[in-house]
Each structure stands twice: as structure tokens, then as C-alpha cells.
Amino acid sequence: AKQRRAGWATYCPNNSGNVDNKRHLQLRSELNSALSENQIQLYYQPKVKIETGEIVGAEALARWIHPTDGMISPMIFIPLVEQSGLVQEFGRYVIRQAIQQLVTWKNQRIESPIAVNLSPYNLLDKDLVLYTQNLLVKGNISPELLEIELTETATSVDIQTISDALNDFKEIGVKLSIDDFGTGMSSLAYVSSLNVDTIKVDRSFVHDIETNANHYSIVNTALTLARSFGCTIVVEGIENKTQMALLKEMGCDFGQGFYYSRPLPVDQFTAMIKFTRTLPVA
């Protein structure tokens, strides 16, 4: 009997960090239909102005609602997407879903920016910018309501290609951010050569910021860097009041994390922005 499990489906990478076990191979082959049948949904996590608690937007995070396996984490299926030649299609899918949501909200007189995640591989899709612009124009959506979060993973995609594609996005008015700042080897190179609006500090520096002096200084350095580049800073992974208060005192602009809210299905997120304009500041 088909049964849906409540939590994440737990396909763990094996010891070599490889995801090529039997179930993964099956999942990979199911990705095509997952896209055509809209099994992949965007959940929304609020982005909050730390000083006031005001919800200023959302990050869209993909979840695969699998018909038999339940919810599958992007940590599992994004690598499968990248192995299966579906990167381009998936990137377009996510952008299309996000812009559709902006249109739906517009019809409900709600305006809230959405940030989508792209991998550097998506920037090899030569027509992605045009594709995005067409959807924005068709939906009559201002481009600055869309933001691209680029994960700073080590890839074979060269920085010039990335930089060119990002500049094209910037030219059509879309906002840009560097995700997971501090985790890659190329943080400084990235931020100084790419013309981004926002730096998102990785949550690994936040989870113990109250006690880890090194992590505290990394966040502080990111803040200084952001100021000197004229970027705003978003701190990921705020899980408790102490962390929030500390980051507020440090002068961080925006935050995300379970302390404020987990990523939510769209209806719950919509209710949140309609009825709860601010989240806790203390």
C-alpha cells in the first residue's frame, strides 16, 4: 500500500558521500515526472528585519512531495538534479513557480519579494535571463521583487561566466545575493568580483555564535565587508533569542531562522504575512 511518511524521507548519502544507491537511481529517473506533475513545491521562509521583526520577504525552498515517499529534502534531490541533466529545466521551474506566486499575491494585493536559489550551473543556461524577463513582463511584476541566491559552491563554472550572467540579471532589475557566505574557498573573490546586493552568512557560523568567538568574528567581518561593498547582510539559521539579540546588537540587517519561522507551505506563509506583519524582536 502506498503510504506517505510524515517527515523527510531519509535517503542518506553513503560513506563516500555518494548518492548512487539503488533508490537514488530510481529517484533520479522519477525527476522528470516530478517536474511535469508539479510534485516539487516551494516552501517559504520569512526574511526578517532584525531590528523591528518586520517580515521583508521570503526565501523559496524546494521540497519534493513524493507520491509514495513523502517529503524529500533538497539536500537529497538537488544533487540528483545536477546529475541527471535537468539543471536547466529545474532552474526554470523554480523561477516560473516563484513568479507565478508573485502574480497570485499581486491579485490578492500582497507584495512580498521572493528569493530563489540557483546553482552556478544554472547560469550556463544562456536564455535564462530572457526567460525570466519574459515571465516578469507577462505577469506585470516588478523585477526587484525577485532575488537570485547563488550558492557559492566550488564548481567548474568559471567566475567570468557567473559574473556575466549575474550582470545580465542585474540589468533586468533582479536582485542578487551570495548564499552561504563563508563556506566556500572563494568568498572574497566572489564578493569582490560579483556585483551583488546581499551577502547571506551561512548558518554554520550562527548556530554557536553565543559561545564561539571565531564564529562571532567571522560574522562581524562579513558585516564589515558588506558595509564596504554597499551590500546588505542576511544572517541564516537564527534559532534562539540569544542569537537574535546578539546579531541585533552587532547591527546585522536581516535574519532568517527557526526562531522566526520554519519554511512554510505557501498558504501558511501567505496567512503569516497577511495577519502577522512582525515577528519577535525580543
Footprint of ligand C2E (CB under 6 A)? 45, 61-62, 73-75, 78, 94, 117-119, 149, 151, 179-180, 203, 236-239, 256-258, 263
DSSP 113-139: -EEEEE-GGGGG-TTHHHHHHHHHHHT
CB 236 within 8 Å of CB 244: no
97 belongs to the binding site for Mg ion (CB under 5 A): no
Task: Please check whether residue 90 is in contact with residue 82, taking contact to mean a CB–CB distance below 8 angstroms.
Answer: no
Question: What does 174 interact with, of ligand C2E, Mg ion, none (CB < 5 to 8 A by kind)?
Answer: none
- Cell digits of residue 215: 564564529
> Which of 183/195 has CB closer to ligand C2E?
183
Q: Which is nearer to Mg ion, 94 or 102 (CB)?
A: 94
Nearest distance in Å: CB 142, Mg ion: 21
142: Cα within 13 Å, side-chain hemisphere: 6
94 binds, among Mg ion, ligand C2E, none (CB under 5 to 8 A by kind): ligand C2E
Report the residue closest to ligand C2E, judged by CB.
257
Q: Does the footprint of Mg ion cover residue 147 (CB under 5 A)?
A: no
Taking the CB of residue 41, how many other CB atoms lie within 10 A of it?
A: 15
Q: Segment contacting Mg ion (CB under 5 A): 36-44, 73-81, 111-119, 207-215? A: 111-119
Judged by CB under 5 A, the residue of 84, 180, 226, 256 near Mg ion is: 180
Q: How far is the CB of 76 from Mg ion (least distance, A)?
A: 15
Tell me the residue type at 56.
V
170: phi then psi, degrees, rounded to nearest 5 = -60, -40
Q: Which is nearer to Mg ion, 119 or 132 (CB)?
A: 119
> Closer CB to ligand C2E, residue 70 or residue 74?
74
Q: Which three cell numbers stand for residue 205?
A: 557560523
Give 30 or 179: the residue with its C-beta nearer to Mg ion.
179
Indicate which single residue of 45, 84, 112, 117 sits in contact with Mg ion (rule: CB under 5 A).
117
Helix or strand holding residue 70 (H, E): strand 70-72
Q: Which stretch binds Mg ion (CB under 5 A): 48-56, 147-155, 207-215, 247-255?
A: 147-155
Nearer to ligand C2E, 93 or 216 (CB): 93
Interaction between residue 152 and Mg ion (CB under 5 A)? no
Cell matching residue 74: 533538497
Beta-carbon contacts of residue 151 (< 8 Å; ≥ 6 apart): 117, 118, 119, 120, 179, 180
Shortest Å, Cβ 108 to Mg ion: 25
Least separation in angstroms between CB 181 and Mg ion: 8
3-state secondary structure string, 181-244?
ECCCCCHHHHHHHCCCCEEEECHHHCCCCCCCHHHHHHHHHHHHHHHHHCCEEEECCCCCHHHH
Give the residues lining the site for Mg ion (CB under 5 A): 117, 149, 179-180, 236
